[in-house]
Structure 1
Amino acid sequence: MAHTTSIRGFEATLIGRISAFVAEIRDSRQRYRAYRQTVRELSNLSDRELSDLGLHRSAIESVAIEAAYGK
């Protein structure tokens, strides 16, 4: 009975895991950038403009989290 080692299968699994890891990092960075941009843009609005949107300055971070992460 002969035994063989499948390195190709291991490499494919490893490459897949690395690719998934890199994709997750990329997605996390994009979500964080969206969060920061939302906070920046809303922070630049006056209290009157925020009020017109139905927001208070204290809700900016919550709105940004919802926009970027959907939580």
Structure 2
Amino acid sequence: MMNTVVKNYRQWRNYRDTVEELNRLSTRDLNDLGISRSDISDIAREAATAK
């Protein structure tokens, strides 16, 4: 049970950190990376579960 709680917390933190980091980028920088603002949550969700 504790492992699940720790894993979920780490995934949530990774998601939140990724969203914050991508939101700090300018629209131009995001475009250079091929990312639209509407894609940020999907990308963050994918990154959170990848680790």
Pick the TM interval, shorter chain: over 0.9
Q: Structure 2 matches for 1:30-69, cutoff 5 A?
A: 30-69=10-49
- TM-score normalised per structure 1: 0.68
Gaps of 5+ in 1: 1-20
- TM-score normalised per structure 2: 0.93
Which structure ranks higher in relative contact order (CA pairs < 8 Å, sequence separation ≥ 6)? 2
Paired letter, 2:23: S
> Which has the larger share of helix?
2
Structure 1 vs Structure 2 CA RMSD? 0.7
Gaps of 5+ in 2: none
Deviations along 1:17-48, one digit per CA (max 9) or x if unpaired, are xxxx0011001000100000000000010000
Poorly superposed stretches of 4+, deviation over 6 Å:
none
Bigger radius of gyration among the two: 1
Q: Which residue of 2 aligns with 1:27?
A: 7
Task: Report how far residue 69 of structure 1 moved.
Answer: 1.7
Q: State the identity %.
A: 42
